A and B are shown apart, each in its own frame.
Chain A
Amino acid sequence: MGGRLRNGSAMNSQGPQIRTIDIVKQGLARRYRAERRFRFYGFAAIVLSITALALLFISIIGNGYTAFWQTRILLDITFDAAELQRDTLASADYEALVRAALQEKFPEVQSRQERRLLNSMISTAAAFELRNMALGAPDIIGKTVPVWVFADDDIDMIVKGQFSRDVAEENRRVSDRQLAWLDRLTADGRVDTKFNLTFFRSGDSREPEQAGIWGAVMGSFYTLVITLLLSFPVGVAAAVYLEEFARKNRWTDLIEVNINNLAAVPSIVFGLLGLAVFLNFFGLPRSAPLVGGLVLTLMTLPTIIIASRSALKSVPPSIREAALGVGASKMQMVVHHVLPLALPGMLTGTIIGMARALGESAPLLMIGMVAFIVDIPKGIFDPATVLPVQIYLWADSPERAFVERTSAAIIVLLAFLLVMNATAVILRKKFERRW
Chain B
Amino acid sequence: MSPLALFAVLILLSGAGYYFGKRRAFALDGGPAATVKLHSRPTYHGALVALWCGIPAFFVFAAWLACETQIITHLVVSGLPEALRGLPADRINLVVNDIRNIVAGNVVAATVDPAMQAAADHYRSLKATSHAALAVISLCVGIAALLLVRSRIVPALRARNQVESILTLVLIACSTIAIFTTIGIVLSVLYESILFFRVVPVTEFLFGLNWSPQMAIRADQVGASGAFGAVPVFVGTALISAIAMFVAVPIGLMSAIYLSEYAGKRLRAVAKPLIEVLAGIPTVVYGFFAALTVAPHIRGFGQWLGLDVASESALAAGLVMGVMIIPFVSSLSDDFINAVPQSLRDGAYSLGATQSETIRQVIIPAALPGIIGGVLLAVSRAIGETMIVVMAAGLSANLTANPLQAVTTVTVQIVTLLVGDQEFDSPKTLAAFALGLVLFVITLCLNIIALYVVRKYREQYE
Contact = CB atoms under 8 A, between A and B. Distances in A.
Counting chain B residues whose Cβ lies within 8 A of the other chain, the interface size class is 35 or more
B275 A46 contact: yes
B262 A241 contact: no
Contacts of B357: 1, 31, 34-35
Contacts of A225: none
A120 B101 CA distance: 37
Interface string B176-191: 1111011011001101
B73 A392 contact: no
B306 interface: no
Contacts of B326: 49, 52
Given A268-B436, A269-B185, 10 more contacts: A31-B357, A45-B251, A50-B274, A56-B285, A258-B179, A261-B448, A269-B384, A272-B418, A301-B181, A366-B415
Interface stretch (A171-179, A202-210, A273-281): A273-281
Contacts of A360: 282
B415 A362 contact: yes
Contacts of B125: none
A56 B353 CA distance: 40
B274 A264 contact: no
B6 interface: no
A301 B172 CA distance: 15
Interface in A406-420: 406-407, 410, 413-414, 417
B361 to A, nearest CB: 8
Nearest to B251: A45
A265 interface: yes
Tell me the dominant secondary structure on chain B's binding face: helix
B356 A361 contact: no
Contact of A355 (B66, B280, B436): B280
Contact of A417 (B70, B278, B280): B280
Given A49-B326, A264-B380, A283-B69, A361 B274 contact: no
Contacts of A255: 175-176, 178-179
Contact of A269 (B251, B284, B439): B439
A395 interface: yes
Contacts of B411: 266, 268, 362
Interface stretch (A36-44, A91-99, A111-119, A151-159): A36-44
Interface of A: 1-2, 5, 24, 31-32, 34-35, 37-39, 41-46, 48-50, 52-53, 55-56, 59-60, 63, 233-235, 237-238, 240-242, 245-246, 254-255, 257-262, 264-270, 272-273, 275-277, 280, 282-283, 298, 301-302, 305, 329-331, 355, 358-362, 365-366, 370, 388-389, 391-392, 395, 403, 406-407, 410, 413-414, 417, 421
B338 interface: no
A50 B387 contact: no
* Max count, chain B CB within 10 A of own CB: residue among A63, A245, A276, A361: A276
Contacts of A283: 69-70, 73
Contacts of B447: 260-261, 264-265
A407 B292 CA distance: 10
18 contacts: A38-B356, A39-B262, A49-B252, A49-B278, A53-B277, A59-B292, A237-B171, A245-B171, A255-B176, A259-B178, A261-B447, A261-B451, A301-B181, A359-B282, A366-B419, A370-B419, A395-B284, A395-B292
Interface in B387-426: 387, 390-391, 411, 414-415, 418-419, 424
B271 interface: yes
A305 B275 contact: no
A359 B284 contact: yes
A55 B294 CA distance: 10
A79 B360 CA distance: 80
Contact of A329 (B164, B259, B352, B385): B164
A370 B416 CA distance: 12
B250 interface: yes
B174 A238 contact: yes
A407 B192 CA distance: 38
